[in-house]
Amino acid sequence: MLDGNSDFRRIVRRFARSRLVSEEAMPHFDQENWFALAGMGVLGLGTTTGGGSALDVAASIEELGAVGFVGPLVETFMACQMLTEEDVESVSRGETIASVTWDATAAPWGRLADILILIDSDGEAHRCVAERISDVETLGGDCWAHVELRPVAGLNAGHRAFAIGEIAVSAYVIGAGIRVVELAAEYARTRRQFGRPIGDYQAVSHPLAELYARLHSARDLLGVAATEIDTNDSSSAGQLSARLRLISIQSAVDAAQLAIQVHGGMGFVNETLLAHLSKRIRHVSLLGPPQWFSEKKARPTRA
């Protein structure tokens, strides 16, 4: 159900697997790759000018998550639901970078961002200027910044903007989570102990199978949630996307922990694709709507 436009998905997958994946992956933002995504039409997906749907957004980001792509994906897709058509076109072309934050003192991609958006505790969006800004290094490769934001204009942030943010986070960590389980399973098939592959031992194979099933169940739910956003842009769609986010993050974090354990610990995988994906899962989990916001949305509605 998550195929979306299957031809477009294959194009993104080919790009991701040929240009972005590396067995010695190191996190960094590559402007050339960002413009390449823009040229393919990825950054404008889910907007009135860029075409596509929430399902296409989910399918594309899942492919990018599987290779640990570093870039303001979540922020871009959220911002394009709130900005003017002129700004959306600029962001979609990769010419303008947007940051979306719920914290007036910290901004993802704050140093690179041309547009700074602050969401307050009531869910109101404000375009801001930075009075002060200083860089923050992160393990996940994102360029965060300490900032002092001053609101200068209000923006329209509806259910769709928040739901797209949760869809984007979920798609990324699901893609990365499935990939780390695959890497761990591949290692378990070849790593021998006591004369047998360690994958023959139930203590290794059963947890991997469980996480693989959990992540694919989350992937199925991702398709349902994205379709609901496309067909029913309402609070019910937002509730589903919020629940998806909580489920997918927990499953992906568990998968990363297990994959590292199967390899014997972080010391054995540091500076490999597995380590990079594990860091990206934790880092991307912090993006988009904060956990308390998603938890509040995910609660059953009382009759």
The count of other CB atoms within 10 Å of the CB of residue 135 is 11
Amino acid in the structure at residue 262 = V
Whether the pLDDT of residue 25 is over 60: the answer is no
Arithmetic mean of pLDDT, 62-89: 94
Arithmetic mean of pLDDT, 123-129: 92
Has residue 182 been placed in a domain?
A: yes
Q: What is the pLDDT of residue 21?
A: 66
Q: What is the pLDDT of residue 165?
A: 94
Has residue 110 been placed in a domain?
A: no
More confident site: 291 or 186: 186
Q: For residue 237, name the pLDDT band (cuts at 50, 70, 90).
A: confident
Query: Is 98:83 a contact under the CB 8 Å cutoff?
Result: yes
Q: How many domains does the chain contain in total?
A: 1
Q: What is the pLDDT of residue 125?
A: 93
Q: For residue 296, name the pLDDT band (cuts at 50, 70, 90).
A: confident
Q: What is the pLDDT of residue 267?
A: 82
The count of other CB atoms within 10 Å of the CB of residue 36 is 15
Q: For residue 86, name the pLDDT band (cuts at 50, 70, 90).
A: very high
Has residue 202 been placed in a domain?
A: yes
Average pLDDT, the chain: 88
Tell me the sheet residues that pair with 144.
Answer: 136
Q: What is the pLDDT of residue 302?
A: 59
More confident site: 302 or 6: 6
**16-20, 256-260, 270-274: which has the highest mean pLDDT?**
256-260
End-to-end CA separation in angstroms for the chain: 31
Q: What is the pLDDT of residue 231?
A: 86
Has residue 286 been placed in a domain?
A: yes
**24-38, 218-232, 289-303: which has the highest mean pLDDT?**
218-232
Whether the pLDDT of residue 259 is over 90: the answer is yes
Has residue 37 been placed in a domain?
A: no
Arithmetic mean of pLDDT, 1-10: 69
* Chain segment 154-165, per-residue pLDDT in tens: 998 888 899 999
Whether the pLDDT of residue 22 is over 70: the answer is no
Has residue 25 been placed in a domain?
A: no
Whether the pLDDT of residue 71 is over 90: the answer is yes
d(CA 183, CA 180): 5
Range of the domain at 243: 159-298
Q: What is the pLDDT of residue 268?
A: 84
CATH of the domain at 226: 1.20.140.10
Q: Is 228 exposed, middle or buried (0-12, 13-18, 19+ CB in 10 A)?
A: buried
Which residues, other chains included, contact 143 with Cβ-Cβ below 8 Å and sequence gap of 6+? 29, 108, 109, 110, 111, 112, 135
Whether the pLDDT of residue 244 is over 90: the answer is yes
More confident site: 3 or 65: 65
Q: What is the pLDDT of residue 95?
A: 95
Has residue 195 been placed in a domain?
A: yes
Has residue 27 been placed in a domain?
A: no
